[in-house]
Amino acid sequence: MAVGKGITSALLPVAGVRIGVAEAGIRKANRKDLVVFELAEGSSVAAVFTTNAFCAAPVHVAREHLAAATCRYWLVNTGCANAGTGEQGMVDARQSCASLAQLASVPASAVLPFSTGVIGELLPMERLTAGMPAAIADLAADHWLRAAEGIMTTDTRPKGASRQLLIDGKAVTITGISKGAGMIKPNMATMLGFAATDARVAQSDLQDLLSLVADQSFNRITVDGDTSTNDACMLAATGQSGCVLSPASPHWPAFAQAVRELFVELAQAIVRDGEGATKFVTVQIHGGGNSDECLRAAYAIAESPLVKTALFASDPNWGRLLAAIGRSGIPALDTSRIDIFLNGVQIVERGGRAAAYTEAQGQQAMAPEEITIRVELARGEASETVWTCDFSHDYVTINAEYRT
């Protein structure tokens, strides 16, 4: 079950990137679960990782390798998160890099590992390493969709997007994929996200851009308020298009906007495919004194189980919205100035039920698959937007049976 359409256009190859996918049987048989990205020599690579203190072994190793060497390969497995696995988990993450590095004839530090799946279980190293030759043999430039399928866990569909710009007569391509459906409140990026462009961008500029767009996209989504141990988001710039870009370039704003739009699409795709989701919900907070208090109110609404279950039932129970805003921790909040709208229908006016509001209007506003909750705080000029989904019966079922 998911809201709206899936991938709506072709995922364009990025010059300088090849992708191989294999079925290694890491958790289940006959399922794509091992993905290898090969990056052209000289590529710039930027990353953002989870802030969870229990971050997985591959997160630790990926950080170390990225800081120490030139990145050439991303190694991704599903079915096992290799998180909460102690020293053996670190040994396995490093060994997985070494095994791929031997096949690819590169230093182990040129490989960054990524894992997703069940927490607290060791990687099945024999199956993982046995699957690597097939992934290497499968390397091709047009395997982005196969990769999007290969990084799925409880996702019901692959997630990916492309953008293309013409800069100084050169076509510049940006393509990315993401995965995630539950344990989603990134605090940096997403469950897993991989994107690349064939523009030439210096590593420091690429890192600044990734940090900015991740904050405007993946850091504005929540399914259940849980920050994963394995979140990682990568952006590579191969330079193969011959187009050189920097913040000083007149074309940088258009390029940065294209990257941002792609990341927003990938982030929203995660919410649309939230575990058991039947509604895609945009929470807009306007009139805040600053960004922080807008986000406090937005996440209080977006992560409230009472609000999310009301959304599932299409029940315009606006009292739950008031309660969420009231407990959000905004200092000296004047509730008598707050207005709330559901899909354009005003349900709350100056802190109470809007005079013209009827229950029939509220039910009609809550019926569509896509809902916008707009809150006017009347405190200042700040605004923020967060994307979330509802809680259905299926969310409980999926997570109750996740390991069985």
Q: Which residues are catalytic?
A: 190
CA angle 50, 133, 232 (to 5 degrees): 10
Q: Whose structure tokens read 């995630």?
A: 180
Q: What is the per-residue DSSP string for 18-39?
A: EEEEE---SSSSSS--EEEEEE
Q: What is the per-residue DSSP string for 186-247?
A: -SSS-SEEEEEESSEE-HHHHHHHHHHHHHHTGGGB-SSSPPPSS-EEEEEE--TT--EE-T
Give the three-state DSSP class for 308. helix
Give the three-state DSSP class for 94. helix
Which residue type sits at 353?
Answer: R
Give the Cα separation of 270 and 223 in Å (integer): 8
CA angle 177, 182, 185 (to 5 degrees): 80
**Cα-only R_g, the chain:** 22
Long-range contacts, 351-359 (Cβ 8 Å, 24+): 351/322, 353/318, 359/316
Give the Cα separation of 132 and 138 in Å (integer): 10
Instruction: Measure Cα distances from 37 to 72, 126, 231, 364, 386 in Å.
Output: 8, 21, 18, 46, 31
Give the Cα separation of 375 and 347 in Å (integer): 10
Run of H or E residues at 359 = helix 359-366
